A and B are shown apart, each in its own frame.
Chain A
Amino acid sequence: MMTDDIDLSASFGSAWFPWPVFTASGCASSGKELAQFFPLREIGAVVTKSISIKARSGRPTPRMAETPSGMLNSIGLQGPGIDSFLENDIPWLVAQNTRIIVSISGETVDEFSVLARRLRSVRGICAVEVNISCPNVENRGLVFACDPEASRSVIEGVRRTLGGDLPIIAKLSPDVTDIVHIARGVVDAGADGLSLINTLLGMVINTDTLRPHLAGKTGGLSGPAIRPVAVRAVYQVHAALPEVPIVGMGGVRSGRDAFEMILAGASAVAVGTASFGNPRALLDIQNELKSLLKEKGFSSLKEAVGFAHRVDRTQREVKG
């Protein structure tokens, strides 16, 4: 095996990515800020902040609280809206020569389809991530990913609108009883891949003010604290749907953590909160992952996907 020739590529439907580390939606804005620290073309893909039809100002502050090995956020999908996004952010991203996955977020099933229609003819987009699992909405009934029927309806609508071309990646919530059931539903409805996991709904109460710390009261928990939950979700879904590619995310902050996601069944890994602490986290993680794969004797990333599931390990000598 040529030492530098390890194949780290990942595929989601017809979309091919030369590298396996992506930005996690909502943790890289639309890429410009991180581009100061590394060239975006050197990572697998930029997954944009979730875009809504109209501009949204989001939730009031305080919007964040650091928690042990993690943080709560309560942004509430602040963003410029699809018009401004397509006019300003997409052309810039296309010029960076990186792969672009646009994340979309609607308040109704229909809104997702409207957003999909706007993206259908946009050049330079590799895939659409359908965010049906943002926890920072006023009405928990709006978290589509908590309801199997609602999840299916959204993905069906987006698939119908997009036609067969652009791959769809559905982003799911871990705050459900049976994530495999939800995953199966959205795959049946036309999703080509899955993003696992969105943040967990959490809360911090300020013991000085005696009130919830976040203005929005609850927020999404992210960071290394949730990594075991993410690994579990990826593992369970990969066991049930081994042919469906997964973007694994939730607390990944080192190459070791990314490798763990891959072993659980992820084909690619997204990095979110780690970028807040280390602007170069994506590249660092990607390089560390490459070294680890080589060190453990894998000749490609694909070979390691779901490796932890394989019962008969005697056929292969695992180094290290």
Chain B
Amino acid sequence: MMASTINKRAEQIDVTVLSNKRIGAYHQILLNIGELVLHCHPGNFVAISVGDKTSSMVLRRAFAISRVSHRGEYGGTLELIVAPHGSGSRWLCEQGEGATVNIVAPLGTAFGIPTNPAQALLIGGGYGSAPLFGLAEVLKSRGCRVDMILGASTSNKIYAPIEGKRSVNSLKIFTEDGSTGILGKVTDPLPSLIAEGVVDVIYSCGPMGMLSAISAIAQSSQVVHQCAVEESMACGIGICMTCVIPVVDATGVISMLRTCIEGPVMDGSTVQWDLVGKVV
């Protein structure tokens, strides 16, 4: 992305919470964002301020956009799937219908969509599956075959809404404790799927360890791996320089790139996974 077009479509606006439902370990939060939906694409994220103007939580929280709808009852709506892990996400999960939240969106890069119909494999870890359902709809509408593999430590951490399942050709679920689906990890079936030639492109979203493992498997093949990475961010708009990860360019130079500007969607083969968290 050219620096002169950094987050060209992003706006900072107050929006209304239309609904907030608990789904398993997560909250599904629907925001009324009006025409901003036109510029939101699968992979983009939103940065939300938490607490009021005097909040002791001074930093925005970044969330992947799960889905957008252009023609809901209230106009454009944006869906987030939020895990109430920290003080900021807990605050957001406490915001009920009618509450106002301040968002900056859409931010970051989006998943690239193949120009010709392709065989796409979507892999999600935990609530990292959320943006993949919106992506699946787009891929299906472009004539792609969409297979999905979801994984988590245990069953209530799998996010797989019934309506989302309609947009995929197949769905396999793995849990590390075997409480639902197959006992194991999302990467278990990957080598054989690649070997069978039924995957052209992998889209992934989830913990960094999972993304790294997928990259390692995809590396020895022709399969493209687009992953939505996760590094803690203070601003989401490219000014704080905290969310960087090491990425190699075509000339072999490794740079610390901002995952809020050059990501979150990145080419998994360029990310230097073994250098994450180290001095470059």
A→B interface (CB under 8 Å): 26-29, 32-34, 36-37, 49, 57-64, 66, 68-71, 73, 75, 78, 88, 92, 215, 223-224, 253-254, 273-280
Contact = CB atoms under 8 A, between A and B. Distances in A.
B215 interface: no
Given A64-B240, A73-B234, A277-B49, A33 B59 contact: no
Contact of B239 (A34, A57, A64): A34
Nearest to B278: A60
Contact of A75 (B49, B102, B241, B261): B241
B244 A61 contact: yes
A61 B241 contact: no
B: contact size bracket: 35 or more
Interface in B192-217: none
Nearest to A59: B279
Top-5 shortest CB links A-B: A276-B235, A64-B242, A33-B238, A63-B242, A57-B280
B160 to A, nearest CB: 28
Contacts of A215: 277
Given A28-B239, A32-B4, A33-B6, A78 B244 contact: yes
B7 interface: yes
Contacts of B58: 66, 69-71, 223-224, 253, 273-274, 276-277
A34 B16 CA distance: 25
Contacts of B49: 277-278
B71 interface: no
Nearest to B88: A66
Given A215-B277, A279-B104, 8 more contacts: A33-B6, A33-B237, A57-B279, A58-B244, A66-B59, A71-B234, A275-B235, A276-B58
Contacts of B238: 29, 32-33
Contacts of B276: 61
Contacts of B27: none
Nearest to B233: A64
Nearest to A89: B3
Main secondary structure of the interface of A (DSSP, over half): loop
A64 B232 contact: yes
Contacts of B59: 66, 71, 276-277
Contacts of A253: 58
B239 A276 contact: yes
Contacts of A78: 241, 244, 256
B220 interface: no
B280 to A, nearest CB: 4
25 contacts: A27-B240, A33-B239, A34-B239, A36-B237, A57-B255, A57-B280, A61-B242, A61-B244, A61-B277, A62-B232, A63-B241, A63-B242, A63-B244, A66-B58, A71-B58, A71-B59, A75-B240, A78-B244, A223-B58, A273-B58, A273-B234, A276-B58, A277-B49, A277-B60, A278-B49
